[in-house]
Chains A and B, each alone.
Chain A
Amino acid sequence: MSEANCVTCGGTVALPNDVEVGEIVDCGSCGTELEVVGVDPVELDEAPDLAEDWGE
């Protein structure tokens, strides 16, 4: 388990060991949806908004 800081509130976000670029995680402190944009080192950004035609 690794950790990174939320880009919105600065809180600590726990990440699985096999975290992937492109994976979406939630900040447990402020609830912001975050996207993993780098894994070495782990880097987070705010996840893009839902587009109108997203989904299966």
Chain B
Amino acid sequence: MDVGLLYSRIRPDEKLLLTELRERGHEVHKVDVRKATFGLDSPPEPLGECDVVLDRCMATSRSRYASRFVEHYDLPVVNSPETAKVCSDKVETTLALSEAGVPTPETTVAFTRDSALEAIEAFGYPCVLKPVVGSWGRLMAKLESRSAAEAVLEHKETLGHYEHSVFYVQQFVEKPGRDLRVLTLDGEPVAAMSRSSDHWLTNAATGAETETFEIDGEVERLAREASAAVGGGVLGVDLMELGEGAEEGYTVHEVNHTVEFKALNAAVDVDVAGEIVDWLEAEYATPTAEVES
């Protein structure tokens, strides 16, 4: 296969994918989106020959627009710009999950400081205030009092980009010190890990401890449904256990469309990059005619 790779940084995740693709004899065409330009008529040079283009842009805006252009050129792109659009925006994700009947934390969106404070008071303390766009746990606030809520709201409104005046208020889920990450390929779960921390944030990027997690039937079902809700592709579905553990069920709080998997790869016995490339080959490789011997 000829595989295009849209990137702005080669992280260990991209390195794993590149190594796997090249070891299997695939031709990889790297496109640094900081240097490439995207016109209406034809794709940046190396992409035109590609059987599939992987979007591995770190910046959300670049990911959304670059993948949209690739789709415009009628080239297959993973993940699709529709999936990127939903996953990159927490409001869109919450609505998509809710509309698909996937359990997700109770959420209220408000557009002014006063209405946001009203929403926060309705939730009670603690509750969570999140940016609608963002990752790695940045700018997340666990609000434990009205005075803290007032201060954070004022800071967001005064200092933030206009997107920070879209106030996304969410219930605080009493998870058992960990959350779960499931990597899915068009809904098929490949591997899962738990991420544990004493901190309320359990992102691997913030130093949470990771451990392999045995996927049970309920997690598998929810991961499949969450994947379908956002349009499928290569995804990282994040779930929290409600209450003390799985007996009380799960809630899906996030779906990641440029999923980082180096921590998962280290935590499980599965070769995650290998599984992704297996899937790409099955979906996008052009079958070659069998030669009779």
Residues of A within 8 A of B (CB): 18, 20-24, 35-36, 47-48, 51-56
Q: Is the CB of A53 within 8 A of B10?
A: no
A18-B19, A22-B32, A23-B15 known; A55 vs B58 contact (CB < 8 Å): yes
Q: Is the CB of A53 within 8 A of B61?
A: yes
Which chain A residue lies CB-closest to B19? A18
Which chain A residue lies CB-closest to B34? A48
Q: Is the CB of B18 within 8 A of A53?
A: no
Choose one: A35, A48, A55; the contact of B134 (CB below 8 Å). Answer: A55
Choose one: B15, B30, B34, B205; the contact of A55 (CB below 8 Å). Answer: B205
Provide the bound-state CA to CA distance between A18 and B8, in Å: 18
Interface residues of B in 28-62 (CB under 8 A from A): 30, 32, 34, 58-61
Provide the bound-state CA to CA distance between A47 and B18, in Å: 20
Provide the bound-state CA to CA distance between A21 and B257, in Å: 23
Q: Is the CB of B134 within 8 A of A52?
A: yes
List of B residues within 8 angstroms of A22 by Cβ:
7-10, 14, 30, 32
Q: Is the CB of A56 within 8 A of B256?
A: yes
Provide the bound-state CA to CA distance between A48 and B10, in Å: 13
Residues of B within 8 A of A (CB): 7-11, 14-15, 18-19, 30, 32, 34, 58-61, 88, 133-136, 138, 161, 205, 236, 256-260
Q: How far is the CB of B248 from chain A (nearest CB, A)?
A: 28
Q: Is the CB of A35 within 8 A of B9?
A: yes
Q: How far is the CB of B237 from chain A (nearest CB, A)?
A: 12
Majority-rule SS of A interface residues: loop
A20-B10, A23-B10 known; A53 vs B135 contact (CB < 8 Å): yes
Q: Is the CB of B135 within 8 A of A54?
A: yes
Provide the bound-state CA to CA distance between A20 and B81, in Å: 26
Q: Is the CB of A55 within 8 A of B136?
A: yes
Which chain A residue lies CB-closest to B22? A18
Which chain A residue lies CB-closest to B88? A53
Q: How far is the CB of B80 from chain A (nearest CB, A)?
A: 16
List of A residues within 8 angstroms of B257 by Cβ:
56
List of A residues within 8 angstroms of B18 by Cβ:
20
List of B residues within 8 angstroms of A23 by Cβ:
9-10, 15
Provide the bound-state CA to CA distance between A24 and B138, in Å: 21
Q: Is the CB of B10 within 8 A of A21?
A: yes
A22-B30, A22-B32, A23-B15 known; A51 vs B59 contact (CB < 8 Å): yes
Q: How far is the CB of A36 from chain B (nearest CB, A)?
A: 8
Q: How far is the CB of B133 from chain A (nearest CB, A)?
A: 5
Provide the bound-state CA to CA distance between A56 and B55, in Å: 11
Choose one: B10, B135, B161; the contact of A56 (CB below 8 Å). Answer: B135
List of A residues within 8 angstroms of B59 by Cβ:
51, 53-54
Scoring A20, A21, A35, A36 by chain B CB atoms within 10 A of each residue's CB, the highest score goes to: A20
Scoring A24, A36, A54 by chain B CB atoms within 10 A of each residue's CB, the highest score goes to: A54
The 7 closest A-B pairs by CB, nearest first: A55-B135, A22-B10, A53-B60, A23-B10, A55-B136, A56-B256, A56-B260
Provide the bound-state CA to CA distance between A22 and B9, in Å: 5
